[in-house]
A and B are shown apart, each in its own frame.
Chain A
Amino acid sequence: MNKLLARYAGPRDVEVLAAIEEGLPLCERPFARVAQALGMSEDEVISRLARMKACGIMRRFGLVLQHRPLGYCANAMLVFDIPQDRVDRAARAIVAHEFVTLCYCREPHLPDWPYNLYCMIHGRDRQIVEGQIIELKERAQLLGFASKTLFSLRRFKQTGARFSSATRVAMVKP
């Protein structure tokens, strides 16, 4: 595989991620401030971030929002128990619905948790989300599979992933 595109983060890359885990500083030269804290050049910080984005270590770089202050409080996680040979088809049918925000396969945990396909719907109104769930199950032909709907209640914590404890480097105050 092309070295540039290898999905590998080296220790210096992780240092950059750790330095911005609380957020990129809001100042005119934010990457210069990060660079200074790490003893790197501004160009190196920018090029490490660009490479991690290009090779897919990062899904995106930009504004990361909290759903709840914007009124997205009806947050449902749907889980399905779907035979392995049907999962891809079911997942494709699920993600065709634009109100679905995430869709993943996860290992089941037998015997108490057989579910292997997960999706999330973030909405503002619980009744609307409940309607979307019914519509999704019908249109994606999921009614024959065991499933559960788990609406979220209290949020105890929500941050980005933490890298600083792994590298023990300075975090830049945003």
Chain B
Amino acid sequence: MQTLNEMEKKLINGWQKGFPLTKRPYAKMAADLQISEAQVIELLASLKERGILSRVGAVVRPNTVAASSLVAMNIEPDELDYVAGIVCAEPQVNHNYEREGELNLWFVVAAPSLEELHVILARIEKRSGYKTIKLPLTKAYHIDLGFQI
């Protein structure tokens, strides 16, 4: 498990939301932390290098820009790696996890349109020989606003 220094914790707790949308955002963060802009950039690069920071970027609300859905599949255990590979090969798949239970492969697809989402699922079904179960969102109660460490 990775450990974080105090400055890294401050960065993570301070800017999962509310990142400055200004010309020199890292300088703004640096001023708040009383370190240099170069240090902020270096700390972020190090967090990314270590796999802790996925990216500085946007978390987009489902079904605004893209049509998205959670999808589940029930795969024979000895074929799971193979089918997971087929699923991961689709660029529009952005999460893909093995979970305990009968439905053991779970992934999220976000496509430019619902039609394209269905084309992707049909292709996964054809390549894998397994059916997909589409479980689209109908209402969000509690959403990803980051977490405190």
Residues in A lying within 8 Å of B, measured CB to CB: 7, 9, 13-14, 17, 20-24, 26-32, 42, 46, 49-50, 52-53, 56-66, 69-71, 77, 91-92, 94-95, 100-109, 112-113, 116, 119, 122, 148-163, 165-166, 174
Chain B, interface residues (CB within 8 Å), range: 35 or more
The answer to whether A63 touches B15, judged by C-beta atoms less than 8 angstroms apart, is: yes
Q: Are B98 and A153 closer than 8 Å at their CB atoms?
A: yes
Q: Is the CB–CB distance between A63 and B141 below 8 Å? A: no
Chain B 1-38 residues near chain A, CB threshold 8 A: 1-2, 4, 11-12, 15-19, 21-27, 37
Identify A95's interface contact among B57, B99, B103, B141, CB under 8 A. B141
Main secondary structure on A side of the interface with B: mixed
- Do B56 and A156 touch across chains, with their CB atoms under 8 A apart? no
Residues of A within 8 A of B54 (CB): 23, 64-66, 158-160
User: Is B126's beta carbon under 8 Å from chain A?
Assistant: no
In the bound complex, how far is the Cα of B65 from the Cα of A122, in angstroms?
Answer: 27
* B24 adjacent to A29 (CB under 8 Å): yes
B99 & A77 in contact (Cβ 8 Å cutoff) = yes
Contacting residues, chain A, for B101 (C-beta < 8 A): 148, 150
Taking A9-B64, A66-B51 as contacts, is the C-beta distance between A24 and B57 under 8 angstroms?
Answer: yes
**Residues of chain A lying within 8 A (CB to CB) of residue B21:** 31, 46, 49-50, 53, 61
